[in-house]
């Protein structure tokens, strides 16, 4: 049940990703508008570029979280996940190059440690969205203050 609950929670990563993509698109439009109107502010350009780069990184995290969701869904189909299942999973991940061997033995993580790692990635993804939003809000507020 723990696997399924974690997978259900992590599947919400698409909502974060959609909002992040919206913010990245707004930042790209902002860059185009600034270029078209010849209103070039280095601080605003850099801030918009950071928002776009954070959006790209967030998307990479979203892909990884989505991958973890699928793995957890597959594991949750089993009645009992054994240490052999986890070893086979790790060997497969190492074989396709998604995980590096840790000290020559990638099978040192138990299920709870793995779930915590999945949740950590999800939190990083959410953090990227929060930072994107904070940058855009600060830019907007500073523009309003300059107009006053």
- Would you say residue 115 has pLDDT above 70? yes
Q: What are phi and psi of 9, to 5 degrees?
A: -65, -45
Angle at 55 between CA 68 and CA 130, to 5 degrees: 85
pLDDT score, position 147: 63
pLDDT digit string, tens, across residues 58-113: 999 999 999 999 999 999 888 888 888 888 888 888 888 877 776 665 556 788 88
**pLDDT band for position 119 (cuts 50, 70, 90):** very high
- Which residues have a Cβ under 8 Å from the Cβ of 34 and sit 6 or more positions away? 40, 41, 44, 45, 48
Give the residue, 92 or 119, on which the prediction is more confident.
119
Mean pLDDT within 46-59: 97
Between 104 and 40, the higher pLDDT residue:
40
Quote the percentage of the chain above a pLDDT of 90. 55
């Amino acid at each position: 049940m723990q696997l399924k609950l974690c997978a259900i929670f992590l599947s919400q990563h698409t909502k974060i990703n959609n909002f992040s993509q919206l913010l990245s698109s707004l930042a790209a439009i902002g860059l185009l508008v600034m270029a078209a109107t010849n209103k070039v502010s280095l601080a605003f350009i850099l801030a918009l570029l950071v928002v776009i780069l954070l959006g790209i990184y967030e998307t990479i995290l979203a892909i990884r979280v989505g991958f973890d969701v699928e793995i957890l869904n597959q594991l949750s189909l089993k009645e009992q996940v054994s240490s052999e299942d986890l070893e086979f999973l790790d060997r497969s991940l190492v074989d396709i190059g998604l995980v590096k061997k840790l000290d020559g033995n990638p099978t040192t993580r138990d299920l709870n440690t793995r779930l915590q790692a999945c949740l950590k990635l999800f939190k990083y993804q959410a953090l990227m969205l929060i930072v994107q939003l904070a940058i855009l809000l600060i830019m907007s507020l500073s523009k309003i203050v300059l107009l006053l």
